[in-house]
Amino acid sequence: MDVVPAAAHPPDRLLLGPGPSPVPDDVLAAQSRSMVGHLDPWFLEKADEVAHMLREVFRTANQLTYAVSGTGSAGMETAVVNVVEPGDTVIVGVNGVFGARIADTARRAGADVVALEEPWGRVIPAERVAAAVKAHPGAKAVAVVHAETSTGAHQPLEEIGRLLSDTDTLFVVDSVTGLGGVPLEVDAWGLDVVYSGTQKCLSTPPGLAPITFSEKAEAVIDRRRSTVRSWYLDVSAVRRYWGAERVYHHTAPISSVLGLHEGLRHVLQEGLEARWARHAEVGRLFQEHILDRDTRLLAQEGHRLPQLTSFAWPEGVDEGKLRSRLLDEHGIEVGGGLGEFAGRAWRVGLMGHGATHDNVDRLLAAIDELLDD
């Protein structure tokens, strides 16, 4: 390798995998604005606007709503380490990679994890949560994945929110792939800590994790007996920067915040309901048509995400080779299966800016051409 490699100019890709999703030019351009300081009054005003827009998108009045300086998994860790103290019981729905990741993260934070395991592709029944809460009445939190990116399962949240609302147990929700793509009502559904990522249905480059904490969650955090195990993700310090005090904690990733500012403007200009409807329609269209190719959808019927479809190819189709050729010959990226779906499934994302009829047509035409070859 030369000491100084050539400048990096990416090939043209149509991103129809599990993320990152396609990013509008205006959002990319916002990331190349001239640099400003993280304590500059102008930038603090933009950070306020980001928090304001995140509240709109999360459908919440929660004061403690901001963007974690890391990707979606940093949002997960922020949710977990601030809520959990060593010895706490945490009930986690595990029906895919990301539920398992919450359980792992919670154990590292010192939790006793009660894992509610369901087969991959299925959702966690509210009755199982109710039974677990009854068996562990002092549980600190229940955590589930709203949009399981590894399976395409769409977890219902309202009933669990209702059953936790008059308990001391917090409801933690992973909506990394949900936010902006399917309905999510943080306040109306009684969700206490919800985190997301920017590179899915918000169509913004990866690098930040939107997060929101209810007053109930803030009160629990304020009563902690032990210090949060992470310095970087400790909300008791971070909220002094995002809040009115503006106390320096760490340097905010300026360009990424400006990119998210523009990405959220796009989301709100389209309107949340319109965006949800577009995802629903385009995703359903793709799911109908891909079934005509002898495939099998892996998520439970009635609980399928429109923005992320996981499906198995019939025996005899070499999914890895097909996927490589789709990238090399057609410039289209899709995802392979994770975990137990590896080697036989695909994950197709029709997320954010990428959720269009035209993209469904391009993808299906490219698949058919490769299958006929």
Cis bond before residue 20 (omega within 30° of 0)? yes
Instruction: Mark 262-281 with x for binding to a second copy (rule: CB under 8 A) and - for no binding.
Output: x--x--xx------------
Neighbouring residues of 131: CB distance < 8 A, sequence distance ≥ 6: none
- Under 8 Å between Cβ of 78 and 64: no
Closest CB to a second copy among residues 116, 332 = 332
Phi, psi of 298 (to 5 degrees): -90, -20
Greatest CA separation for the chain: 64
108 binds a second copy (CB under 8 A): yes
Question: Which residues within the stretch 337-366 sit at the binding site for a second copy (CB under 8 A)?
Answer: 338
Which of 71, 125, 156, 317 touches a second copy by CB under 8 A? 71
The C-alpha atoms of residue 334 and residue 337 are separated, in whole angstroms, by: 10
Q: Which of 96, 99, 190, 259 binds a second copy (CB under 8 A)?
A: 259
Q: Report CA 290 to chain centroid distance, whole Å.
A: 24
Check residue 180 for interaction with a second copy (CB under 8 A).
no
What is the smallest separation between the CB atom of 246 and a second copy, expressed in angstroms? 12
Terminal CA-CA length for the chain: 37
CA–CA distance, 55 with 141 (Å, rounded to integer): 22
Instruction: Give the bridge partners for 65, in sequence order.
Output: 212
Q: How far is the CB of 78 from a second copy (least distance, A)?
A: 9
What is the distance between the alpha carbons of residues 76 and 98, in angstroms, rounded to a whole number? 9
Question: With CB under 8 A as the contact rule, which of the stretches 58-66, 71-79, 186-194, 290-298 interacts with a second copy?
Answer: 71-79
Q: How far is the CB of 157 from a second copy (least distance, A)?
A: 23
Q: Considering the complex, what minimum distance in angstroms separates the CB of residue 62 from a second copy?
A: 16
Q: Can you read off the two tokens belonging to residue 121?
A: 């592709």
Pairwise CA distance, residues 280 & 305, whole Å: 8
# residues near a second copy by CB under 8 A:
83
In angstroms, the Cα distances linking 371 to 66, 294, 366, 367 are 45, 12, 9, 6
Among 134, 162, 224, 250, binds a second copy (CB under 8 A): 250
Query: Which of 210, 213, 307 has the alpha carbon at shortest distance from 260?
Result: 210
DSSP 3-state of 335 = strand
Among 44, 63, 104, 280, binds a second copy (CB under 8 A): 104
- Comparing CB distances to a second copy, the nearer of 158 and 333 is 333
Task: Out of 88, 206, 303, 340, name the contact with a second copy by CB under 8 A.
Answer: 206
321 makes contact with a second copy (CB under 8 A) = no
Of 156 and 253, CB closest to a second copy: 253
Is 310 among the residues that bind a second copy (CB under 8 A)?
Answer: no
Q: Rule CB under 8 A: is residue 52 a binding residue for a second copy?
A: yes
- Provide the minimum distance between the beta carbon of 22 and a second copy in the complex, in angstroms, as a whole number: 6
Give min distance, CB of 322 to a second copy, in A. 16
Interface with a second copy in residues 3-32 (CB under 8 A): 3-5, 7-13, 15, 17, 19-23, 26, 28-32
Contact 197, 206 (CB under 8 A): yes
d(CA 204, CA 261): 9
Query: Quick check: 309 binds a second copy (CB under 8 A)?
Result: no
The answer to the question of residue 248 lying near a second copy (CB under 8 A) is: yes
CB of 207 to a second copy, least distance (A): 3
Q: Stretches 52-60, 185-193, 215-223, 359-367: which one binds a second copy (CB under 8 A)?
A: 52-60
231 binds a second copy (CB under 8 A): yes
Query: Closest distance between a second copy and the C-beta of residue 371, in Å?
Result: 22
Distance CA 295, CA 327 (A): 20
- 3-state SS assignment for residue 336: strand
Do residues 311 and 297 lie in contact, with contact meaning Cβ atoms separated by under 8 Å? Answer: yes
Residues 114-153 that bind a second copy (CB under 8 A): none
